[in-house]
Amino acid sequence: MRELLIATGNSGKLTEMLAILSGVPFTVLTLSDVNAGGDVEETGETLEENAILKAKTYGTRTGKLTISEDTGLEVDALGGAPGVRSARYAQGSDDDRNQKLLAELKDVPEERRGAQFRTVAALYDPIADILHTSEGICRGSIIHEGRGEHGFGYSPLFLVSQGKTFAELDAHTRNDLSHRGQAIRKIRDVLLADFT
């Protein structure tokens, strides 16, 4: 059975990706299972550049079929920021980044608080030098204070159509709706169609 490396160091993302990829006919590995040569710095100017950079670098280092992704929160009133810099929007914790976002939106009315999460996933086969990418987008809005215990990152502030934040949804529902769920399911289809 061929090995498949899920190349993320983010435990929340890893949990979601493993759930979406469960049952695929591969031996699924994580970065903790391989000698991947340390972190890959996200130097790309776009989510797509970062996803490809990580998939190709980890795939080349390990010789394994590799999936990586990059995700950004794009807030309408901030011109699409924090976007590709979502994880580096503020120093410190998820809460520090959430507090900065709320401060920047302090005087923004409800009707202008629209936002979307966007994920670009990349699948790289270092043996055949084949690259596939996919994208997922989930629209919502930014509320005024965090709600929910089940998320990470900006998910306690991101309200989706059910009137709940991502952090208030159970994992199955969130994976069905989410940007990352959409992007990784498309990669899953490619894996099953082209690599089995």
Structure tokens belonging to residue 18: 């493993």
Neighbours of 28 (CB within 10 A): 16
Tell me if residue 70 is catalytic: yes
CA distances from 135 to 69, 139, 195 (A): 9, 13, 20
Q: State the virtual CA torsion across 81, 82, 85, 91 in degrees, nearest 10.
A: 140
Among residues 33, 39, 70, 95, the one annotated as catalytic is: 70
Q: Are 74 and 139 in contact (CB under 8 A)?
A: no
CA distances from 185 to 35, 75, 91 (A): 27, 24, 32
* Element containing residue 17 per DSSP (H, E): helix 11-20
Neighbours of 81 (CB within 10 A): 16
Query: What span, in angstroms and rounded, lies between the C-alpha atoms of 150 and 53?
Result: 29
Nearest to 97 by CA among 155, 30, 22: 155
Catalytic residues: 70
